[in-house]
Amino acid sequence: MLNEDTERALRESEGLLKRLDRVHKFSDKYQLTPSRESIRLAEAMQILADGLPQIDSPQNQDQLLQSELKRRLHGESAYLNQQLSGRLYDFDTVIDILGIPREDIDSLGPWLEQNKEKTQEAIERLFHARDIEGYELPLSRDIPSVRRQVEEFAGAHIQRYHKTLGKFLQGLTKVGEYLRDINAFPTTEARSYFNSLNNNLVLGISAICFSKEDGTLHVREKELIRLYGHEGMGHALNFAVTRSNGLPYFLTKDSALTEATVESVAQFYERVLMEDLKKSPGTQKQLGIEHKFADIYQETKDAEQLEAYKRRIFQYGIVVLGDKSLGNPNDPEVLRKKMDMLYRVAIDRSGVAVWVQKHRYESFDSEGNLNPDLVGELRYCAQPVDRALEEFSRRGINYDEKGRNTIDSTFLKGLWTPIGFVNNAKLKAQSK
């Protein structure tokens, strides 16, 4: 049972967040923000946030919800004010608004230094292991007959994977049962996604299919497995489990403040699904990939390393660009200093100077602050899943047969800020 103050705050926050949702929908439709309503709303959210206690280390469910609600309302109010005010915002203010853990930002440089050689080795293996792209031709979807054939081909494989992997996961974890409520379809759009309004898991045809020179169609099994882990196990199950558990309203609404956690969870389940398949030759056989799974697995691990490196060097580049302590962003000496910092961790040095020069004029305001939208990309460097796993591990709960149900139900229940996600995992671990 929650105490009376918490219940009251949750009720008030639900009304405020529904008003915020209406503001966003209006802005999307008319490309204008209802400024008067937004100002009133931002003030109301901040007042409610200020009335909640500051709890850095919650010790029970009441404190957890109050601390996360305060964090969320403060962030939503500040984010709305940023959009309305027209003021200039510095790097640290944007980081604070979005609730990006500073430790994750500070870890970018060291990670790149430690993983530079490992990434080089992964690149070498990928280069020598298979032919790259030359014999994977793009799909001729501009031809109606080919488009129909491709859509049927992709749809059949997606359905087979959805049925097989859904049944497989139901046998591994209790949350797998929610996959029964999810439908899977192909899309001609470039981006795969999960639509939470209709429970549709939609996978991009161009990402998972290609043709060869003889006109035959083929599937990129590695990419289909990755996307199913990311969009299906990650996003789809996250929304399905969240909606079915009677959570407070604010934990069921996605936001710029929860995107980092949502993506961290989805990336985690990409890796989980591949490891699950490695342990199940029977499922490999059902999917028809048992004879080549070893190659799929090795390519996946190498590609993961490469993608992690590419994400982090982009994020580290933002940190370097946004560091005002280095000096005037237009000073040639400062530019050289920034390029040298990136050269130290770059595998491909050819794009460093171009990237730094590109942002020299277009991404800084008159006070030398980096563009807030670019700084906002750092929310994807947050690593709440890794820290949450450490909290479980301290209590002897590991991601294995014994601990998996506990961890899965914790990770997939609710839409949290990175800090709230770790606090919730810590309390769950302590309660076991």
SS3 content of the chain, % helix, strand, coil (to 5): 70, 5, 25
Is 54 inside a domain boundary?
Answer: yes
Write out the residue range of the structural domain in which residue 66 sits.
1-87
Q: Is 336 left (phi over 0), alpha (psi -120 to 50) or beta?
A: alpha
67 with 56: CB under 8 angstroms? yes
Residue 399 to residues 87, 166, 167, 262, 405, Cα–Cα distance (Å):
46, 19, 20, 19, 9
The CA distance from 416 to 426, in Å, is 14
Task: Report the run of H or E that residue 281 belongs to, with start and end.
Answer: helix 281-287
Tell me which residue has tokens 């501009």. Answer: 142
List of residues 6+ apart from 312 with CB closer than 8 A: 108, 111, 112, 381
Residue 42 to residues 82, 97, 291, 307, Cα–Cα distance (Å):
10, 13, 58, 38
| Predicted local confidence at residue 141, as pLDDT | 65
The CA distance from 301 to 277, in Å, is 13
For Cα atoms 237, 17, 15, give the angle at the middle one, nearest 5 degrees: 120
Other CB atoms within 10 Å distance of the CB of residue 400:
8
407 with 175: CB under 8 angstroms? no
> What strand order describes the sheet that includes 200-204?
183-187, 200-204, 193-195
| Packing angle of the helix pair 384-394, 404-411 (nearest 10 deg) | 140
311 with 329: CB under 8 angstroms? no
| Predicted local confidence at residue 375, as pLDDT | 95
- The three-state secondary structure class of 211 is strand
Is 107 inside a domain boundary?
Answer: no
Sequence-ordered strand ranges (E) for 57-182:
none
Closest CA to 380 of 272, 270, 274, 256: 256
231 with 187: CB under 8 angstroms? no
Token digits of residue 264? 């961290």
Token digits of residue 142? 């501009």
**What are the residue ranges of helices labelled H in 130-176?**
144-170
Is 235 inside a domain boundary?
Answer: no
The CA distance from 155 to 136, in Å, is 19
Give the count of domains, the chain: 1
Sequence-ordered strand ranges (E) for 205-362:
209-211, 217-219
Is 162 inside a domain boundary?
Answer: no
230 with 267: CB under 8 angstroms? yes
Task: Report the run of H or E that residue 399 belongs to, with start and end.
Answer: none
Is 407 inside a domain boundary?
Answer: no
Token digits of residue 274? 């591949």
Token digits of residue 246? 């009677």
Is 16 inside a domain boundary?
Answer: yes
The CA distance from 418 to 213, in Å, is 47
Is 32 inside a domain boundary?
Answer: yes
Token digits of residue 141? 């979807």
Token digits of residue 191? 């981006």
Is 77 inside a domain boundary?
Answer: yes
List of residues 6+ apart from 296 with CB closer than 8 A: 221, 222, 225, 289
The CA distance from 204 to 217, in Å, is 15
| Packing angle of the helix pair 293-322, 352-362 (nearest 10 deg) | 40
- pLDDT one digit per residue (tens) for the chain, 432 residues: 678 889 999 999 999 999 999 999 999 999 999 999 999 999 999 999 999 999 999 999 999 999 999 999 999 999 898 888 878 889 999 998 888 999 999 999 999 999 999 999 999 998 887 655 446 777 776 677 778 888 899 999 999 999 999 999 999 999 999 999 999 999 988 899 999 889 999 999 989 998 887 778 889 999 999 999 999 999 999 999 999 888 999 999 999 999 999 999 999 999 999 999 999 999 999 999 999 999 999 999 999 999 999 999 999 999 999 999 999 988 999 999 999 999 999 999 988 999 999 998 889 998 899 999 999 999 999 999 999 999 999 999 999 999 999 999 999 999 999 999 999 999 999 997
Closest CA to 166 of 199, 137, 143: 199
List of residues 6+ apart from 128 with CB closer than 8 A: none
